[in-house]
Structure 1
Amino acid sequence: MSRRGVVAVLVATVLVVAAVAVVLVVRARSSASDGAARVAQQYVDLVASGEAEQLAELARLTSEPTPALADAAPLLATADERIEVVGLGEPEVTGTDRAEVAVRYRLAGEEHTWTLRLGRDDDGWRVAAPMTGAIAWDEPALRNADSEIRLGGVVVERRPRFIGEGDDVQPLYPAGYAAEKRVAPYFAAAPVPVVVLPGEPTPQPELVLRANDAARQVLAADLAAQADTCGTAEAFGRCPFYDIVATPLAGGDPTAPGWWKGFAGRPTLTVDAALDGVAIEGAIRYATPGGVRTLRFTGDAQIGFDRVARTPTLSGLEVQAVG
Protein backbone atom coordinates (compact mmCIF):
# COMPACT_ATOMS: atom_id res chain seq x y z
CA MET A 1 0.00 0.00 0.00
CA SER A 2 1.29 3.43 -0.89
CA ARG A 3 2.12 6.01 1.74
CA ARG A 4 -0.90 8.03 0.64
CA GLY A 5 -3.12 5.01 1.20
CA VAL A 6 -1.71 4.40 4.67
CA VAL A 7 -2.37 8.01 5.64
CA ALA A 8 -5.93 7.75 4.36
CA VAL A 9 -6.54 4.63 6.44
CA LEU A 10 -5.12 6.27 9.56
CA VAL A 11 -7.26 9.36 9.08
CA ALA A 12 -10.35 7.24 8.59
CA THR A 13 -9.55 5.25 11.72
CA VAL A 14 -9.10 8.41 13.79
CA LEU A 15 -12.41 9.76 12.52
CA VAL A 16 -14.20 6.53 13.38
CA VAL A 17 -12.72 6.48 16.89
CA ALA A 18 -13.65 10.13 17.40
CA ALA A 19 -17.18 9.48 16.20
CA VAL A 20 -17.53 6.52 18.54
CA ALA A 21 -16.22 8.63 21.43
CA VAL A 22 -18.74 11.36 20.65
CA VAL A 23 -21.54 8.80 20.52
CA LEU A 24 -20.46 7.34 23.86
CA VAL A 25 -20.31 10.78 25.48
CA VAL A 26 -23.72 11.71 24.08
CA ARG A 27 -25.17 8.42 25.29
CA ALA A 28 -23.60 8.89 28.73
CA ARG A 29 -24.99 12.41 28.98
CA SER A 30 -28.37 11.23 27.75
CA SER A 31 -28.38 8.39 30.27
CA ALA A 32 -27.35 10.77 33.04
CA SER A 33 -30.04 13.25 32.01
CA ASP A 34 -32.72 10.55 31.96
CA GLY A 35 -31.69 9.24 35.39
CA ALA A 36 -31.66 12.69 36.96
CA ALA A 37 -35.04 13.51 35.41
CA ARG A 38 -36.61 10.32 36.78
CA VAL A 39 -35.39 10.95 40.34
CA ALA A 40 -36.40 14.62 40.22
CA GLN A 41 -39.90 13.69 39.03
CA GLN A 42 -40.28 11.01 41.69
CA TYR A 43 -39.09 13.42 44.39
CA VAL A 44 -41.45 16.30 43.57
CA ASP A 45 -44.37 13.91 43.05
CA LEU A 46 -43.85 12.65 46.62
CA VAL A 47 -43.76 16.21 47.98
CA ALA A 48 -46.96 16.95 46.10
CA SER A 49 -48.78 13.80 47.21
CA GLY A 50 -48.04 14.03 50.93
CA GLU A 51 -49.00 10.37 51.33
CA ALA A 52 -47.84 9.43 54.83
CA GLU A 53 -46.96 5.81 54.02
CA GLN A 54 -44.77 6.87 51.07
CA LEU A 55 -43.01 9.93 52.46
CA ALA A 56 -40.14 7.91 53.92
CA GLU A 57 -38.96 7.65 50.31
CA LEU A 58 -38.05 11.34 50.40
CA ALA A 59 -35.19 10.61 52.79
CA ARG A 60 -34.03 7.70 50.62
CA LEU A 61 -33.89 9.98 47.60
CA THR A 62 -31.73 12.50 49.49
CA SER A 63 -27.95 12.23 49.46
CA GLU A 64 -27.58 13.21 53.14
CA PRO A 65 -30.72 12.22 55.06
CA THR A 66 -30.88 13.56 58.63
CA PRO A 67 -33.23 13.00 61.59
CA ALA A 68 -34.56 16.54 61.08
CA LEU A 69 -35.35 15.78 57.45
CA ALA A 70 -37.05 12.53 58.48
CA ASP A 71 -39.23 14.51 60.91
CA ALA A 72 -40.29 16.83 58.09
CA ALA A 73 -42.18 13.97 56.41
CA PRO A 74 -44.93 13.47 59.05
CA LEU A 75 -45.33 17.24 59.25
CA LEU A 76 -45.90 17.34 55.49
CA ALA A 77 -48.47 14.57 55.85
CA THR A 78 -50.57 16.85 58.11
CA ALA A 79 -50.39 19.89 55.80
CA ASP A 80 -53.65 21.51 54.73
CA GLU A 81 -52.38 22.29 51.23
CA ARG A 82 -49.58 20.77 49.16
CA ILE A 83 -47.81 21.83 46.01
CA GLU A 84 -49.18 21.19 42.55
CA VAL A 85 -46.37 20.32 40.15
CA VAL A 86 -46.74 22.35 36.95
CA GLY A 87 -43.71 20.93 35.15
CA LEU A 88 -40.01 20.09 35.22
CA GLY A 89 -37.38 21.50 32.91
CA GLU A 90 -34.75 19.44 31.12
CA PRO A 91 -31.89 18.47 33.45
CA GLU A 92 -28.74 20.53 33.04
CA VAL A 93 -26.02 17.93 33.54
CA THR A 94 -22.47 18.85 34.54
CA GLY A 95 -20.10 15.99 33.81
CA THR A 96 -21.89 12.77 34.64
CA ASP A 97 -22.52 13.21 38.36
CA ARG A 98 -24.19 16.60 38.86
CA ALA A 99 -27.45 17.98 37.55
CA GLU A 100 -29.94 20.78 38.07
CA VAL A 101 -33.65 20.57 37.31
CA ALA A 102 -35.99 23.57 37.32
CA VAL A 103 -39.24 22.68 39.12
CA ARG A 104 -42.31 24.77 38.45
CA TYR A 105 -45.06 24.36 41.02
CA ARG A 106 -48.16 26.12 42.32
CA LEU A 107 -48.94 26.74 45.99
CA ALA A 108 -51.54 28.98 47.64
CA GLY A 109 -52.66 30.32 44.29
CA GLU A 110 -49.20 31.40 43.12
CA GLU A 111 -46.69 29.78 40.77
CA HIS A 112 -43.08 29.36 41.86
CA THR A 113 -39.84 27.92 40.48
CA TRP A 114 -37.25 25.99 42.46
CA THR A 115 -33.94 24.63 41.19
CA LEU A 116 -33.54 21.06 42.37
CA ARG A 117 -29.87 20.06 42.63
CA LEU A 118 -28.92 16.41 42.27
CA GLY A 119 -25.75 14.38 42.50
CA ARG A 120 -24.88 10.82 41.51
CA ASP A 121 -22.96 8.27 43.55
CA ASP A 122 -22.52 4.50 43.31
CA ASP A 123 -26.18 3.99 44.25
CA GLY A 124 -27.55 6.33 41.61
CA TRP A 125 -28.99 9.83 41.55
CA ARG A 126 -29.91 11.59 44.79
CA VAL A 127 -31.22 15.04 45.69
CA ALA A 128 -28.21 16.98 47.00
CA ALA A 129 -30.13 20.01 48.32
CA PRO A 130 -33.58 19.11 49.72
CA MET A 131 -36.58 21.12 48.59
CA THR A 132 -37.20 22.54 52.06
CA GLY A 133 -37.72 25.80 53.87
CA ALA A 134 -38.52 26.62 57.50
CA ILE A 135 -40.45 28.96 59.77
CA ALA A 136 -38.53 31.66 61.65
CA TRP A 137 -40.01 30.95 65.07
CA ASP A 138 -40.03 33.97 67.36
CA GLU A 139 -39.99 33.23 71.09
CA PRO A 140 -40.54 33.73 74.04
CA ALA A 141 -44.24 33.32 74.63
CA LEU A 142 -44.53 34.26 78.31
CA ARG A 143 -42.07 35.25 81.01
CA ASN A 144 -40.10 32.16 82.06
CA ALA A 145 -42.38 29.87 80.04
CA ASP A 146 -41.57 27.78 77.00
CA SER A 147 -44.46 27.36 74.62
CA GLU A 148 -45.38 24.34 72.55
CA ILE A 149 -45.57 24.83 68.79
CA ARG A 150 -47.62 22.51 66.59
CA LEU A 151 -48.08 22.18 62.86
CA GLY A 152 -51.17 20.24 61.91
CA GLY A 153 -51.34 18.91 65.47
CA VAL A 154 -47.74 17.59 65.41
CA VAL A 155 -45.33 19.11 67.96
CA VAL A 156 -42.33 20.89 66.41
CA GLU A 157 -39.34 20.01 68.58
CA ARG A 158 -36.57 21.74 66.61
CA ARG A 159 -36.84 25.49 67.12
CA PRO A 160 -35.22 28.23 69.23
CA ARG A 161 -36.42 28.08 72.82
CA PHE A 162 -36.72 30.58 75.65
CA ILE A 163 -35.90 27.93 78.25
CA GLY A 164 -33.27 25.25 77.77
CA GLU A 165 -31.22 24.44 74.72
CA GLY A 166 -32.30 24.26 71.12
CA ASP A 167 -31.17 26.47 68.26
CA ASP A 168 -31.91 24.06 65.42
CA VAL A 169 -34.87 24.87 63.20
CA GLN A 170 -37.08 22.15 61.76
CA PRO A 171 -36.85 21.97 57.94
CA LEU A 172 -40.22 21.86 56.20
CA TYR A 173 -41.28 20.78 52.74
CA PRO A 174 -43.23 23.42 50.79
CA ALA A 175 -46.88 23.30 51.81
CA GLY A 176 -49.63 25.16 53.61
CA TYR A 177 -49.60 24.31 57.32
CA ALA A 178 -51.84 25.14 60.29
CA ALA A 179 -49.65 26.59 63.06
CA GLU A 180 -50.64 26.56 66.73
CA LYS A 181 -49.03 27.70 69.97
CA ARG A 182 -49.86 26.45 73.48
CA VAL A 183 -48.72 26.79 77.05
CA ALA A 184 -50.80 23.88 78.27
CA PRO A 185 -53.15 23.72 79.99
CA TYR A 186 -53.58 27.47 80.47
CA PHE A 187 -53.07 29.29 77.16
CA ALA A 188 -53.62 28.46 73.51
CA ALA A 189 -53.57 30.26 70.18
CA ALA A 190 -56.10 29.40 67.51
CA PRO A 191 -54.62 27.68 64.42
CA VAL A 192 -53.27 30.13 61.85
CA PRO A 193 -52.43 29.17 58.24
CA VAL A 194 -48.83 29.62 57.12
CA VAL A 195 -47.37 28.90 53.68
CA VAL A 196 -43.79 27.60 53.66
CA LEU A 197 -41.65 27.89 50.53
CA PRO A 198 -38.23 26.31 49.99
CA GLY A 199 -35.25 28.53 50.67
CA GLU A 200 -35.38 31.48 53.06
CA PRO A 201 -37.35 30.97 56.32
CA THR A 202 -40.96 32.12 56.36
CA PRO A 203 -41.85 34.65 59.10
CA GLN A 204 -43.80 33.16 61.98
CA PRO A 205 -47.52 33.90 61.73
CA GLU A 206 -49.05 35.92 64.54
CA LEU A 207 -50.06 33.38 67.17
CA VAL A 208 -51.92 35.13 69.99
CA LEU A 209 -51.97 33.11 73.20
CA ARG A 210 -55.28 33.50 74.99
CA ALA A 211 -56.13 32.49 78.53
CA ASN A 212 -58.75 29.89 79.39
CA ASP A 213 -60.73 29.33 82.59
CA ALA A 214 -57.93 27.25 84.10
CA ALA A 215 -55.55 30.21 83.72
CA ARG A 216 -58.03 32.63 85.29
CA GLN A 217 -58.53 30.34 88.29
CA VAL A 218 -54.80 29.99 88.90
CA LEU A 219 -54.21 33.74 88.54
CA ALA A 220 -57.06 34.47 90.98
CA ALA A 221 -55.47 32.03 93.43
CA ASP A 222 -52.13 33.83 93.05
CA LEU A 223 -53.80 37.17 93.82
CA ALA A 224 -55.33 35.66 96.95
CA ALA A 225 -51.94 34.22 97.97
CA GLN A 226 -50.26 37.61 97.62
CA ALA A 227 -53.04 39.28 99.61
CA ASP A 228 -52.75 36.67 102.37
CA THR A 229 -49.23 37.92 103.11
CA CYS A 230 -50.56 41.32 104.21
CA GLY A 231 -50.10 41.65 107.96
CA THR A 232 -47.62 38.76 108.10
CA ALA A 233 -43.85 38.37 108.11
CA GLU A 234 -43.99 37.65 104.36
CA ALA A 235 -45.54 41.02 103.51
CA PHE A 236 -42.37 42.74 102.30
CA GLY A 237 -42.34 42.54 98.52
CA ARG A 238 -45.51 40.44 98.48
CA CYS A 239 -48.43 42.44 99.95
CA PRO A 240 -49.70 44.66 97.11
CA PHE A 241 -52.19 46.73 99.18
CA TYR A 242 -50.37 48.29 102.11
CA ASP A 243 -49.14 51.36 100.23
CA ILE A 244 -52.65 52.41 99.20
CA VAL A 245 -54.03 51.96 102.73
CA ALA A 246 -51.23 53.54 104.82
CA THR A 247 -53.17 52.96 108.04
CA PRO A 248 -51.63 54.26 111.30
CA LEU A 249 -52.68 50.99 112.94
CA ALA A 250 -50.01 49.20 110.95
CA GLY A 251 -47.39 51.60 112.30
CA GLY A 252 -45.72 51.87 108.92
CA ASP A 253 -45.00 48.17 108.94
CA PRO A 254 -46.94 45.99 106.46
CA THR A 255 -46.09 42.96 108.58
CA ALA A 256 -47.95 44.38 111.61
CA PRO A 257 -50.98 42.22 112.45
CA GLY A 258 -54.54 43.41 112.59
CA TRP A 259 -54.92 45.92 109.76
CA TRP A 260 -55.68 43.52 106.90
CA LYS A 261 -59.29 42.29 106.85
CA GLY A 262 -59.39 40.64 103.43
CA PHE A 263 -61.34 41.24 100.25
CA ALA A 264 -64.85 42.64 100.20
CA GLY A 265 -66.36 40.22 97.73
CA ARG A 266 -64.47 38.45 94.96
CA PRO A 267 -62.05 40.52 92.84
CA THR A 268 -62.57 40.50 89.07
CA LEU A 269 -59.64 39.48 86.87
CA THR A 270 -59.83 40.28 83.17
CA VAL A 271 -57.36 38.48 80.94
CA ASP A 272 -57.56 37.53 77.29
CA ALA A 273 -54.40 37.80 75.22
CA ALA A 274 -51.61 36.61 77.50
CA LEU A 275 -49.08 39.24 76.48
CA ASP A 276 -51.58 42.04 77.21
CA GLY A 277 -51.42 41.20 80.91
CA VAL A 278 -54.18 41.14 83.53
CA ALA A 279 -56.57 43.89 84.66
CA ILE A 280 -57.92 43.57 88.21
CA GLU A 281 -60.63 45.39 90.14
CA GLY A 282 -62.29 44.82 93.48
CA ALA A 283 -62.45 46.04 97.07
CA ILE A 284 -60.52 45.36 100.27
CA ARG A 285 -61.33 45.79 103.96
CA TYR A 286 -58.80 47.22 106.41
CA ALA A 287 -58.74 48.38 110.03
CA THR A 288 -58.34 51.99 111.15
CA PRO A 289 -58.62 53.60 114.60
CA GLY A 290 -62.18 54.51 113.62
CA GLY A 291 -63.13 51.00 112.60
CA VAL A 292 -62.99 48.74 109.54
CA ARG A 293 -63.21 50.50 106.20
CA THR A 294 -63.69 49.40 102.60
CA LEU A 295 -61.56 50.64 99.74
CA ARG A 296 -62.10 49.96 96.06
CA PHE A 297 -59.06 49.36 93.89
CA THR A 298 -57.91 48.63 90.37
CA GLY A 299 -54.69 46.98 89.36
CA ASP A 300 -52.70 45.50 86.54
CA ALA A 301 -49.99 42.88 86.17
CA GLN A 302 -48.06 40.96 83.57
CA ILE A 303 -48.33 37.20 83.35
CA GLY A 304 -45.29 35.33 84.55
CA PHE A 305 -44.76 31.61 84.96
CA ASP A 306 -43.62 29.60 87.96
CA ARG A 307 -41.01 27.26 86.48
CA VAL A 308 -41.27 24.87 89.42
CA ALA A 309 -45.05 24.65 89.77
CA ARG A 310 -45.54 25.18 86.01
CA THR A 311 -48.38 27.63 86.65
CA PRO A 312 -49.00 31.24 85.55
CA THR A 313 -48.45 34.02 88.09
CA LEU A 314 -49.20 37.72 88.48
CA SER A 315 -45.88 39.44 87.85
CA GLY A 316 -45.24 43.07 88.83
CA LEU A 317 -48.72 43.57 90.31
CA GLU A 318 -49.51 47.24 90.97
CA VAL A 319 -52.78 48.51 92.49
CA GLN A 320 -54.34 51.95 92.82
CA ALA A 321 -57.12 53.22 95.09
CA VAL A 322 -60.37 54.25 93.40
CA GLY A 323 -62.33 57.19 94.84
Structure 2
Amino acid sequence: MLSKIVKAVALVALTSCALNAGDYNAQAEKDRLALVKYIEAKFKDPVKNQAQFFPYTTKEELATDYAKNLKFDDFNLGSYAFAKDAKEQYEAIKEMPPYEDAIDEGEALYHKKFANGNSFETCFPDVTISGEYPKFDEKRKAVISITSAINECLVANGEKAWNTKKGHMASLEAYFASQTTEAGKKMDIKIPSKEAANAYEAGKQYYYSQRGYLKLSCASCHIQGAGQRVRNEKLSPLLGQVTQFPVHRLKWGSLGTLERRISGCIVDEGQVPPKDNSEEMHNLLYFLAYMSNGMAVDGPDIRK
Protein backbone atom coordinates (compact mmCIF):
# COMPACT_ATOMS: atom_id res chain seq x y z
CA MET A 1 0.00 0.00 0.00
CA LEU A 2 2.70 2.45 1.02
CA SER A 3 4.66 1.78 -2.16
CA LYS A 4 1.54 2.75 -4.12
CA ILE A 5 1.26 5.98 -2.11
CA VAL A 6 4.89 6.85 -2.82
CA LYS A 7 4.40 6.24 -6.54
CA ALA A 8 1.22 8.29 -6.52
CA VAL A 9 2.95 11.21 -4.82
CA ALA A 10 5.78 11.19 -7.34
CA LEU A 11 3.33 11.01 -10.24
CA VAL A 12 1.12 13.79 -8.92
CA ALA A 13 4.07 15.99 -8.05
CA LEU A 14 5.67 15.81 -11.45
CA THR A 15 2.65 15.69 -13.75
CA SER A 16 0.43 18.61 -14.76
CA CYS A 17 -3.18 18.26 -15.83
CA ALA A 18 -5.53 20.42 -17.85
CA LEU A 19 -7.25 23.01 -15.68
CA ASN A 20 -10.81 24.16 -16.23
CA ALA A 21 -11.83 27.80 -15.91
CA GLY A 22 -12.63 28.64 -12.29
CA ASP A 23 -10.76 25.55 -11.04
CA TYR A 24 -7.15 26.58 -11.50
CA ASN A 25 -6.05 25.01 -8.23
CA ALA A 26 -7.17 21.52 -9.31
CA GLN A 27 -3.65 20.16 -9.83
CA ALA A 28 -2.27 21.95 -6.78
CA GLU A 29 -5.02 20.45 -4.62
CA LYS A 30 -4.24 16.97 -5.94
CA ASP A 31 -0.58 17.57 -5.06
CA ARG A 32 -1.46 18.77 -1.57
CA LEU A 33 -3.81 15.89 -0.76
CA ALA A 34 -1.27 13.35 -2.04
CA LEU A 35 1.40 14.94 0.16
CA VAL A 36 -0.87 14.80 3.24
CA LYS A 37 -1.65 11.14 2.54
CA TYR A 38 2.02 10.28 2.09
CA ILE A 39 3.27 12.10 5.21
CA GLU A 40 0.49 10.72 7.43
CA ALA A 41 1.23 7.20 6.18
CA LYS A 42 4.96 7.65 6.73
CA PHE A 43 4.52 8.67 10.36
CA LYS A 44 1.61 6.39 11.23
CA ASP A 45 4.05 3.88 12.71
CA PRO A 46 7.75 4.60 12.04
CA VAL A 47 8.82 1.22 13.47
CA LYS A 48 6.60 -0.74 11.09
CA ASN A 49 7.63 1.60 8.28
CA GLN A 50 11.36 1.21 8.84
CA ALA A 51 12.15 -0.74 5.68
CA GLN A 52 9.97 1.53 3.54
CA PHE A 53 10.88 4.97 4.89
CA PHE A 54 13.61 4.81 7.55
CA PRO A 55 16.20 2.26 6.36
CA TYR A 56 19.09 4.08 8.05
CA THR A 57 17.42 4.35 11.46
CA THR A 58 17.35 1.53 14.00
CA LYS A 59 14.08 0.11 15.27
CA GLU A 60 15.16 1.04 18.78
CA GLU A 61 15.57 4.70 17.84
CA LEU A 62 12.30 4.74 15.94
CA ALA A 63 10.48 3.22 18.92
CA THR A 64 12.10 5.52 21.48
CA ASP A 65 12.49 8.86 19.73
CA TYR A 66 9.63 9.02 17.21
CA ALA A 67 5.96 9.77 17.86
CA LYS A 68 3.39 7.89 15.79
CA ASN A 69 -0.20 8.19 14.56
CA LEU A 70 0.37 11.83 13.59
CA LYS A 71 -2.31 13.63 11.63
CA PHE A 72 -2.45 16.66 9.33
CA ASP A 73 -2.61 19.41 11.97
CA ASP A 74 0.27 17.95 13.99
CA PHE A 75 2.79 18.79 11.29
CA ASN A 76 2.74 22.56 11.72
CA LEU A 77 5.38 21.90 14.39
CA GLY A 78 7.86 20.73 11.77
CA SER A 79 10.20 18.01 13.04
CA TYR A 80 9.02 18.68 16.60
CA ALA A 81 5.81 16.88 15.63
CA PHE A 82 7.58 13.50 15.67
CA ALA A 83 10.97 14.04 17.39
CA LYS A 84 10.16 13.48 21.06
CA ASP A 85 13.37 14.84 22.63
CA ALA A 86 13.43 17.88 20.38
CA LYS A 87 9.79 18.61 21.18
CA GLU A 88 10.52 18.60 24.92
CA GLN A 89 13.31 21.15 24.41
CA TYR A 90 11.07 23.19 22.13
CA GLU A 91 8.26 23.33 24.67
CA ALA A 92 10.69 24.40 27.40
CA ILE A 93 11.97 27.30 25.28
CA LYS A 94 8.42 28.30 24.34
CA GLU A 95 7.67 29.04 27.99
CA MET A 96 9.80 32.17 27.59
CA PRO A 97 10.04 32.65 23.81
CA PRO A 98 12.98 34.77 22.64
CA TYR A 99 10.94 36.55 19.96
CA GLU A 100 8.47 38.43 22.17
CA ASP A 101 10.46 41.67 21.97
CA ALA A 102 10.49 41.37 18.18
CA ILE A 103 6.68 41.18 18.13
CA ASP A 104 6.51 44.37 20.21
CA GLU A 105 8.98 46.05 17.86
CA GLY A 106 6.90 44.92 14.88
CA GLU A 107 3.76 46.42 16.38
CA ALA A 108 5.56 49.74 16.93
CA LEU A 109 6.85 49.68 13.34
CA TYR A 110 3.34 48.99 12.07
CA HIS A 111 1.96 52.13 13.69
CA LYS A 112 5.00 54.38 13.15
CA LYS A 113 4.34 57.25 10.74
CA PHE A 114 6.34 57.59 7.55
CA ALA A 115 7.70 61.01 6.60
CA ASN A 116 4.62 61.57 4.42
CA GLY A 117 2.23 60.87 7.31
CA ASN A 118 1.17 57.40 6.20
CA SER A 119 2.13 54.15 7.93
CA PHE A 120 2.05 50.42 7.28
CA GLU A 121 -1.54 50.59 8.41
CA THR A 122 -2.22 52.48 5.17
CA CYS A 123 -0.99 49.51 3.12
CA PHE A 124 -2.14 46.72 5.45
CA PRO A 125 -5.31 47.73 7.33
CA ASP A 126 -5.80 44.06 8.29
CA VAL A 127 -2.89 42.65 10.30
CA THR A 128 -4.12 39.03 10.22
CA ILE A 129 -2.69 38.38 6.76
CA SER A 130 0.16 35.89 7.21
CA GLY A 131 -1.85 32.98 5.84
CA GLU A 132 -2.73 34.87 2.65
CA TYR A 133 0.84 35.28 1.38
CA PRO A 134 2.40 34.71 -1.03
CA LYS A 135 -0.46 35.82 -3.27
CA PHE A 136 -0.80 36.14 -7.02
CA ASP A 137 -1.25 39.70 -8.29
CA GLU A 138 -3.53 39.52 -11.32
CA LYS A 139 -2.59 42.99 -12.55
CA ARG A 140 1.12 42.25 -12.60
CA LYS A 141 0.69 38.54 -13.37
CA ALA A 142 3.23 37.70 -10.68
CA VAL A 143 3.49 36.22 -7.19
CA ILE A 144 4.03 38.72 -4.36
CA SER A 145 5.52 37.58 -1.06
CA ILE A 146 4.70 39.32 2.20
CA THR A 147 8.33 40.47 2.30
CA SER A 148 8.13 42.11 -1.11
CA ALA A 149 4.73 43.63 -0.25
CA ILE A 150 6.23 45.27 2.84
CA ASN A 151 9.13 46.71 0.87
CA GLU A 152 6.79 47.94 -1.85
CA CYS A 153 4.77 49.77 0.80
CA LEU A 154 7.94 51.42 2.08
CA VAL A 155 9.14 52.52 -1.36
CA ALA A 156 5.68 53.74 -2.40
CA ASN A 157 5.70 56.03 0.64
CA GLY A 158 9.15 57.45 -0.01
CA GLU A 159 10.99 55.20 2.46
CA LYS A 160 13.99 52.93 1.91
CA ALA A 161 13.42 49.21 1.47
CA TRP A 162 14.46 46.93 4.33
CA ASN A 163 16.75 43.92 4.52
CA THR A 164 14.64 40.98 3.34
CA LYS A 165 16.10 38.40 5.72
CA LYS A 166 16.13 39.87 9.24
CA GLY A 167 15.89 43.01 11.36
CA HIS A 168 12.85 45.25 10.94
CA MET A 169 11.43 42.97 8.25
CA ALA A 170 11.42 39.91 10.50
CA SER A 171 9.94 41.93 13.38
CA LEU A 172 7.04 43.31 11.35
CA GLU A 173 6.34 39.88 9.89
CA ALA A 174 6.42 38.46 13.45
CA TYR A 175 3.74 40.95 14.45
CA PHE A 176 1.58 39.98 11.47
CA ALA A 177 2.12 36.29 12.24
CA SER A 178 1.26 36.68 15.91
CA GLN A 179 -1.95 38.51 15.09
CA THR A 180 -2.88 35.91 12.49
CA THR A 181 -2.20 33.13 14.98
CA GLU A 182 -4.27 34.82 17.69
CA ALA A 183 -7.14 35.23 15.22
CA GLY A 184 -7.08 31.47 14.61
CA LYS A 185 -6.62 31.84 10.88
CA LYS A 186 -5.32 29.15 8.57
CA MET A 187 -3.16 29.06 5.48
CA ASP A 188 -5.39 30.16 2.60
CA ILE A 189 -3.38 30.46 -0.61
CA LYS A 190 -5.41 31.14 -3.74
CA ILE A 191 -4.69 30.11 -7.34
CA PRO A 192 -7.14 32.39 -9.19
CA SER A 193 -6.04 32.09 -12.83
CA LYS A 194 -4.12 30.13 -15.42
CA GLU A 195 -1.13 32.43 -14.92
CA ALA A 196 -1.23 31.77 -11.18
CA ALA A 197 -1.37 28.02 -11.84
CA ASN A 198 1.68 28.37 -14.08
CA ALA A 199 3.52 30.19 -11.28
CA TYR A 200 2.63 27.37 -8.89
CA GLU A 201 3.90 24.79 -11.38
CA ALA A 202 7.17 26.71 -11.79
CA GLY A 203 7.65 26.68 -8.01
CA LYS A 204 6.89 22.96 -7.88
CA GLN A 205 9.39 22.28 -10.65
CA TYR A 206 12.08 24.16 -8.73
CA TYR A 207 11.26 22.18 -5.58
CA TYR A 208 11.64 18.80 -7.29
CA SER A 209 14.64 19.65 -9.48
CA GLN A 210 18.11 18.43 -8.53
CA ARG A 211 20.68 21.20 -8.25
CA GLY A 212 24.26 21.88 -7.29
CA TYR A 213 27.23 19.55 -7.04
CA LEU A 214 25.35 17.38 -4.51
CA LYS A 215 22.52 16.76 -7.00
CA LEU A 216 19.88 17.27 -4.34
CA SER A 217 16.41 18.70 -4.58
CA CYS A 218 14.28 20.25 -1.82
CA ALA A 219 12.19 17.06 -1.97
CA SER A 220 15.25 14.89 -1.32
CA CYS A 221 15.33 16.13 2.27
CA HIS A 222 11.77 17.22 3.01
CA ILE A 223 9.65 14.55 1.30
CA GLN A 224 11.70 11.40 0.72
CA GLY A 225 14.04 12.29 3.60
CA ALA A 226 11.45 13.73 5.99
CA GLY A 227 12.01 12.27 9.45
CA GLN A 228 15.42 10.85 8.68
CA ARG A 229 18.28 11.89 10.91
CA VAL A 230 21.18 13.91 9.53
CA ARG A 231 23.83 14.03 12.26
CA ASN A 232 21.82 15.14 15.33
CA GLU A 233 18.83 16.64 13.51
CA LYS A 234 15.73 15.06 12.04
CA LEU A 235 14.58 16.51 8.74
CA SER A 236 11.23 18.28 8.75
CA PRO A 237 8.50 17.46 6.19
CA LEU A 238 7.30 19.89 3.54
CA LEU A 239 3.82 19.69 5.07
CA GLY A 240 3.48 22.58 7.54
CA GLN A 241 6.96 23.99 7.00
CA VAL A 242 5.94 27.58 6.27
CA THR A 243 3.21 28.01 8.88
CA GLN A 244 5.52 29.24 11.66
CA PHE A 245 7.57 31.94 9.96
CA PRO A 246 9.30 34.14 10.74
CA VAL A 247 11.28 31.99 13.18
CA HIS A 248 13.86 32.63 15.85
CA ARG A 249 16.50 30.10 14.91
CA LEU A 250 18.91 29.15 17.68
CA LYS A 251 21.69 28.88 15.11
CA TRP A 252 21.08 32.50 14.09
CA GLY A 253 20.45 33.84 17.57
CA SER A 254 17.76 36.07 16.05
CA LEU A 255 14.54 36.15 14.09
CA GLY A 256 14.65 35.49 10.36
CA THR A 257 12.26 35.47 7.41
CA LEU A 258 11.22 32.50 5.30
CA GLU A 259 13.47 33.79 2.51
CA ARG A 260 16.45 33.62 4.86
CA ARG A 261 15.77 29.98 5.71
CA ILE A 262 15.07 28.93 2.13
CA SER A 263 18.28 30.57 0.92
CA GLY A 264 20.26 28.71 3.56
CA CYS A 265 18.70 25.40 2.53
CA ILE A 266 19.57 25.96 -1.12
CA VAL A 267 23.15 26.85 -0.20
CA ASP A 268 23.34 23.55 1.71
CA GLU A 269 22.40 21.82 -1.55
CA GLY A 270 25.52 23.29 -3.12
CA GLN A 271 23.63 25.82 -5.20
CA VAL A 272 23.40 29.61 -5.38
CA PRO A 273 19.91 30.60 -4.18
CA PRO A 274 17.67 32.91 -6.19
CA LYS A 275 17.36 36.52 -5.05
CA ASP A 276 14.70 37.07 -2.42
CA ASN A 277 12.65 39.34 -4.68
CA SER A 278 13.06 37.24 -7.81
CA GLU A 279 10.30 35.49 -9.72
CA GLU A 280 12.01 32.18 -9.04
CA MET A 281 11.98 32.68 -5.27
CA HIS A 282 8.40 33.96 -5.26
CA ASN A 283 7.14 31.00 -7.26
CA LEU A 284 8.92 28.59 -4.92
CA LEU A 285 7.36 30.26 -1.88
CA TYR A 286 3.95 30.07 -3.59
CA PHE A 287 4.28 26.31 -4.01
CA LEU A 288 5.52 25.82 -0.44
CA ALA A 289 2.68 27.85 1.03
CA TYR A 290 -0.03 26.09 -0.96
CA MET A 291 1.19 22.72 0.32
CA SER A 292 0.18 23.81 3.84
CA ASN A 293 -3.26 25.14 2.88
CA GLY A 294 -5.85 24.53 5.58
CA MET A 295 -3.24 24.31 8.34
CA ALA A 296 -3.30 26.79 11.23
CA VAL A 297 -0.82 29.67 11.12
CA ASP A 298 1.38 29.28 14.19
CA GLY A 299 4.02 31.97 14.04
CA PRO A 300 6.38 33.32 14.98
CA ASP A 301 8.16 30.29 16.33
CA ILE A 302 11.48 28.70 17.30
CA ARG A 303 13.70 26.38 15.33
CA LYS A 304 17.21 25.03 15.85
Report the TM-score when normalising by structure 1: 0.21
Report 1 or 2 for greater relative contact order, CA contacts < 8 Å, sequence distance ≥ 6.
2
Report the TM-score when normalising by structure 2: 0.22
Please identify which structure carries the higher helix content. 2
Bigger radius of gyration: 1
Please identify which structure carries the higher strand content. 1
